[in-house]
Copies of this chain bind each other. A is one copy, B any other.
Amino acid sequence: MTTRDTGTEQLIKDTAKQVFFKEGRLHATTQDIADAAGVNRTLVNYYFRSRDELIRQVYEEGMDDMDNRLSQIMESDIPFREKIESFIDVFMADSMEYPYQETFLITEMNTNSNLHNKPDMNLKVENFSAQIQKEIDEGRLPKMDPIHFAMNMFSLMIYPLIMRPLYKQLYKLTNEQFTKLMLERKDITCKMLFGKQ
């Protein structure tokens, strides 16, 4: 079967990511996704066979994406702090687009538990920890388990975006105000991490 590539398969997958990662509608049905994509629901089955398979692919690609974003910290050979600054810049821009990507992944992990971990991610994480440890040893970061640095960084970047509906309500913020705050956070997060206050 020489696929004719009408872009529909990709459209459905991309729309599913919009719904799950961007809008955070984690209970969305195939009908919801088809509607959002403006296509007949049957096409979900035509291209993906089942809902589960669509979810599986979205999950898989979400994980791959995380993996790729992690790689970014490794490859460049610039000083640690600059590397982190640049990482925060890129990662936060992505997260502002898709705040619920990690939440989706975790929710799937919590409901399925038949998750296959990508072994090369462990290596990257170890590598990252080693980089942090080096900074600690050379006195540029306070003494602590390197995992805390990573946790701090991801927490400060992602969590406010997840809680957006709540913050908007509690602090009576417009979309513009919220976006402005998130952009400010790039700097704030960096300063928090390196203790330069």
Contacts and interface: CB of A to CB of B under 8 A. Distances in A.
A165 B106 contact: yes
Interface stretch (A4-12, A42-50, A81-89, A149-157): A149-157
A165 B25 contact: no
Nearest to A27: B111
Interface string A18-45: 0000011111000000000000000000
B27 A26 contact: yes
Chain copies in the assembled complex: 2
B155 A26 contact: no
Interface residues of A, number: 49
A19 to B, nearest CB: 10
Contact of A169 (B25, B117, B158, B192): B117
Interface in A83-130: 100, 102-103, 105-107, 109-111, 115, 117, 121-122, 125
A195 B196 CA distance: 8
B155 A160 contact: yes
Contacts of A191: 142
Interface of A: 23-27, 100, 102-103, 105-107, 109-111, 115, 117, 121-122, 125, 142, 144-145, 147-148, 151-152, 154-156, 158-160, 162-163, 165-167, 169-172, 181, 184-185, 188, 191-192, 195, 197
